Amino acid sequence: MSRFIVGLTGGIASGKSEVTRRFEALGITVADADVAAREVVAPGSPALERIRERFGDAVLLADGSLDRAQLRAHVFGNDEERRALEAITHPAIRARVRDICETAASPYAIAAIPLLAEAGGRTAYPWLDRIVVVDAPEAVRHARLIQRDDIDAALATRMIQAQASREQRLALADDVIVNDGQPEHLQPQVEALDRIYRQLAAARAP
Ligand code: ADP
């Protein structure tokens, strides 16, 4: 059971996946909020039932699963509807990520929360013992995003601007992993933090 939980965040295309893969390779459990977001609305889940009650059968597909495209279109640009949806899904996502971390067999666990800065930061996640931010300059993220998602420059700019600023994210950071060079430059940073987190977790254990 992991008593020490590290929140990991970073802007789109900052390299979060690259970094979490490296922590996993060191034996650390990573709970991904994006994965949890899909799991908590699986058919039969309490959250899906509440979504159906609030938004109607129109947001379900014929097989009873969530019609994500339909729901996304419905809440897009409508703050009240978006907040109503988040009031259902966010608590469920937070609970699922926390549960995976707390029951992990690794010495500490990582909660990967891409939208940590946007979704309330430490206030929404008071159980994070530490926060690490994966950081890269906007121009670097922009170039990586265009290549990874095969999108044009204007869309990549909009996706980056729709998120919290680099400064807002860094304001949350206890630790920063800089990803502005070769991917191999990540490894020593990950290993150094892994050593620190193992020590902090060991100091925490009863
Ligand atoms: P995130 O999970 O934060 O959105 P990814 O880990 O998917 O970001 O990285 C975005 C893209 O940039 C991916 O295609 C990834 O392979 C690439 N990438 C990540 N780090 C580097 C790096 N240091 N150098 C070159 N490409 C990188």
The length of the chain in residues reads: 206
List the residue whose alpha carbon is closest to atom 12 of ligand 1: 144
Ligand 1 centroid, distance to 184 Cα (angstroms): 12
Protein residue with its CA nearest to atom 21 in ligand 1: 183
Whether ligand 1 lies within 6 angstroms of the CB of 39 is answered as: no
For the chain, 206 residues long, give each residue's pLDDT as a single digit of tens: 678 999 999 999 999 999 999 999 999 999 999 999 999 999 999 999 999 999 999 999 999 999 999 999 989 889 999 999 999 999 999 999 999 999 999 999 999 999 999 988 999 999 999 999 999 999 999 999 999 999 999 999 999 999 999 999 999 999 999 999 999 999 999 999 999 999 999 998 66
- Domains parsed from the chain with CATH numbers: 1-28+109-206 (3.40.50.300), 35-105 (3.40.50.300)
3-state secondary structure 114-181: CCCCCCCHHHHCCCCCEEEEEECCHHHHHHHHHHHHCCCHHHHHHHHHCCCCHHHHHCCCCEEEECCC
- Ligand 1: distance of its center to the CA of 164 in Å? 18
Give Cα 190 distance to the centre of its chain. Answer: 18
Q: CB within 8 A of 61, min separation 6: which ones?
A: 67
Ligand 1 atom nearest the C-alpha of 134 is 3
